[in-house]
Structure 1
Amino acid sequence: MPPFEMPPAPEPSDDEVLDAYSRAVSTVARRLAPVVASLRVSRPARGGTVEGGGSAVVLTEDGLLLTNAHVVDGVDRGTAHFADGMSLRVHLVGADPLSDLAVVRAESSLPPPPSYGDADRLEVGHVVVAIGNPLGLEGSVTAGVVSALGRSLPTRSGAASRLVEDVIQTDAALNPGNSGGALADSGARVVGVNTAVAGVGLGLAVPINATTRRIIEALVEDGHVRRAYLGLVTAPVPVSDEVAARLGRRTALRIAQVVPGSPADRAGLMRGDVVVAADGRALFDAQSLQRILLDEAIDRSMEITVLRGTALVDVVAVPRLLRG
């Protein structure tokens, strides 16, 4: 009797793959278009006002919308226009330039919000759909894939230049006016807030994850985000095979600079140290450190483990409130 063999599954045709992709994008567009608004704002300028805007996503049915901080920079009021023709006045609740997130409140109730997902579950190659209002064209939809994760986006807040950490890079086409709009996965879950065009074929979005959820909650409750400050400039680096075996991972954070007089300086951290853990949590990139340096870390003793030469050294730092 010949051995039993499972027949191979037939390979899907190009038409079947395309149809599945089209159905996914169409479903996302249908679900999210009603909850992504065009946000119009007016900024004071010499001799009058300058019109600007972007997009915003419904956050709560009782009036809150999520957008980018740079969309509402310098203004406290605007108008949200929805696909069904509804227009509502909105006012600023809070903005956080460091994450490029802001929350505004409408003067009336809103459509039920979309589902919000977890960008930490995204992988390079996942299909994503961007919905916004580029160039004033409301309800525009583009699709693509996640091109990269964990990117940093240079921004300016006043006179200071900062980095928005841990952004999602996608090849879904973005244009001016997409900022503040939704980046969704194939299940129509909002996993990011579109924030910038990095170049031809490169769009960036602030992820929706545990860290940004805390930032959004702080904006809703307090109108701002309190962050802790150590005074370190770091960069991810690979570690040796021996160190990787001890740590259980291949990367850590090398200290490139310690700000004089900072909490890190007072704790004895030095340029060249490789930070492997803080507050009992492993550090392997800039985002893993930023996730720790939020409100609850301010003025609290934090144990930091560094690799100094071949030895693991523990120091205690007390992060202070980040100002400005």
Structure 2
Amino acid sequence: MAPRRVSRFIASYVIVGLIVAGAVVWLAPGLLDGHRPVVEVREAPQRTSPTTMTAGSGPVSYADAVAAAAPAVVNVYSARAARPEGFGLPDDPLFRRFFEDRLPTPGPRRETSLGSGVIVSDDGHILTNNHVIEDADEIQVLLADGRTAPATLVGTDPESDLAVLRIELPDLPAVTMGDSESIRVGDVVLAIGNPFGVGQTVTQGIVSAKGRSELGLTTFENFIQTDAAINPGNSGGALVNAEGEVIGINTAIYSQSGGSMGIGFAIPASLAGGVLQSIIEEGRVIRGWIGVQVQGMSPQLADSFGLDAPEGVLIAGVLRGGPADEAGLAPGDVVLEVAGEPVADVDALLTRVTDQPPGSTIILTGLREGEPREWQVEVEERPTDLQQSTPRR
């Protein structure tokens, strides 16, 4: 082949190669990169039912959780004798002295209230709120399956606003009590109860906060806050997690209108379970008590006592002849530790003391006039007649 023809042949292939290379660069530049990027796309698994999603992945339906708990949530109806109406004069001894024969005899009048409850055992024990059945002469329970039964009062604990009832019926459903200590803010919860007496109702929300206290509702406050709609009649009902386990007993709402405003409070199952067991086994709740009145430590008080942070509690009063008085505690003392555990606030001291069995001895550590002090206190049983408005620890 002549040299000129060979040159033309080679040049034509070079030109074709350049044209192909240019087209590749223009149309598919990724083919020239030896390290192609890999994009991972998460694809949802195929499902035959919207409820087959695993717990924690956000099920579309909570019907299984409701089916597990709802049969054991009951309506509680109570009735009590009402005081006679009037302006107070008929009860005055002087008034009755002159007008006894002319006073009309008031007819009997009954007051009724409604609430909810949770069957917690196969033998018919029911947890509810104390305020639902307080002073009741008659208590009636309506089950989700339509059965009714009179309830007997096993015991009450006004300081936690809990009460235990019992009914006698066969084949009773019972809830599973969950771990209220492991719940997290943001967990989905369901409130099941009897709002306004319309019948069993389920509402859904999340855990809004944990450990709510100093609300002035009860002496022992460690509430779960939720935005699940809770209304009058829900009291004593169940707060349930996404697995159908009861993690709280619905107790109160914050409302300016009387209806739900998205701020409800439930007694955690950990506290309710302890009260339940104590009432069933002992007939009452047994708590420790040392006979002091305490005040929280504000930043100003902490500074005046030379503390780095507003922790601990100030002894505001000591019951004469009580355990703390016998141990030498006095108003003005500061308690920083109970049984070796730091005391952050009033509720922490109350919890530490009440958890101690009567007859045991605890060591309180703190300050008196800026100097370290230690007190050895023998715990007694907490009296049942303490006033909730000014509770003694």
Report the TM-score, using the length of structure 2 for normalisation: 0.68
- When structure 1 is superposed on structure 2, of 222-231 and 94-103 the one drifting more is 222-231
1:45-64 → structure 2 map (5 Å cutoff): 45-46=82-83, 47-64=108-125
| Conservation of the 8 A alpha-carbon contact between 1:237 and 1:253 | no
Give 1:154's aligned residue.
216
Give 1:7's aligned residue.
40
Q: Distance in 2 between matches of 1:263 and 1:6?
A: 70
Give 1:185's aligned residue.
241
Alpha-carbon offset, residue 122 of structure 1: 1.9
| Conservation of the 8 A alpha-carbon contact between 2:80 and 2:138 | no
Give 2:177's aligned residue.
116
Give 1:259's aligned residue.
318
Which AA in structure 2 matches 1:68?
A: N
Is 1:99 the counterpart of 2:160 in the alignment?
yes
Q: Distance in 1 between matches of 2:35 and 2:298?
A: 55
Is 1:38 the counterpart of 2:69 in the alignment?
no
Secondary structure of 2:205's counterpart equals strand
Which AA in structure 2 matches 1:254?
A: V
Alpha-carbon offset, residue 40 of structure 1: 0.7
Secondary structure of 2:62's counterpart equals helix
1:272-311 → structure 2 map (5 Å cutoff): 273-276=334-337, 278-294=338-354, 296-306=356-366
Which AA in structure 2 matches 1:222?
A: E
Post-superposition CA distance 1:258-279 (Å, at most 9, x none): 3342433443255362423x22
Give 2:99's aligned residue.
none
Alpha-carbon offset, residue 186 of structure 1: 1.6
Give 2:281's aligned residue.
221
Alpha-carbon offset, residue 317 of structure 1: 1.6
Which AA in structure 2 matches 1:134?
A: P
Q: Distance in 2 between matches of 1:123 and 1:225?
A: 28
Alpha-carbon offset, residue 225 of structure 1: 1.2
| Conservation of the 8 A alpha-carbon contact between 1:151 and 1:169 | yes
Q: Distance in 1 between matches of 2:187 and 2:263?
A: 15
Which AA in structure 2 matches 1:7?
A: E
After superposition, the Cα gap between the structure-2 partners of 1:308 and 1:5, relative to the gap in structure 1 and judged at 3 Å, is farther
Post-superposition CA distance 1:36-60 (Å, at most 9, x none): 0001111111332111120010110
Is 1:126 the counterpart of 2:187 in the alignment?
yes
Bigger relative contact order, structure 1 or 2 (CA pairs below 8 A, ≥6 apart): 1
Give 2:229's aligned residue.
173
Alpha-carbon offset, residue 21 of structure 1: 4.7
After superposition, the Cα gap between the structure-2 partners of 1:265 and 1:8, relative to the gap in structure 1 and judged at 3 Å, is farther
After superposition, the Cα gap between the structure-2 partners of 1:270 and 1:68, relative to the gap in structure 1 and judged at 3 Å, is same
After superposition, the Cα gap between the structure-2 partners of 1:9 and 1:319, relative to the gap in structure 1 and judged at 3 Å, is same
Is 1:145 the counterpart of 2:206 in the alignment?
yes
Secondary structure of 1:220's counterpart equals helix
Q: Distance in 1 between matches of 2:208 and 2:169?
A: 38
Give 1:247's aligned residue.
none
Which AA in structure 2 matches 1:178?
A: N
| Conservation of the 8 A alpha-carbon contact between 2:332 and 2:368 | no
| Conservation of the 8 A alpha-carbon contact between 1:253 and 1:285 | yes
Q: Distance in 2 between matches of 1:236 and 1:131?
A: 39
What do you get for the CA RMSD once the two structures are aligned? 3.3
After superposition, the Cα gap between the structure-2 partners of 1:122 and 1:258, relative to the gap in structure 1 and judged at 3 Å, is farther
Which AA in structure 2 matches 1:119?
A: S
5+ long unaligned stretches in structure 1: 156-161, 245-249
Q: How many residues align?
A: 305
Q: Distance in 2 between matches of 1:174 and 1:120?
A: 22
After superposition, the Cα gap between the structure-2 partners of 1:301 and 1:52, relative to the gap in structure 1 and judged at 3 Å, is same
Q: Distance in 2 between matches of 1:148 and 1:5?
A: 41
| Conservation of the 8 A alpha-carbon contact between 1:154 and 1:164 | no
| Conservation of the 8 A alpha-carbon contact between 1:258 and 1:264 | no
Identity %: 33
Secondary structure of 2:178's counterpart equals coil
Give 2:332's aligned residue.
271
Give 2:105's aligned residue.
none
Give 1:158's aligned residue.
none
Q: Distance in 1 between matches of 2:358 and 2:379?
A: 5
Q: Distance in 1 between matches of 2:267 and 2:170?
A: 26
- When structure 1 is superposed on structure 2, of 51-60 and 67-76 the one drifting more is 67-76
**The structure with more radius of gyration:** 2
Which residue of 219, 222, 228 corresponds with 1:163?
A: 219
Q: Distance in 1 between matches of 2:247 and 2:138?
A: 26
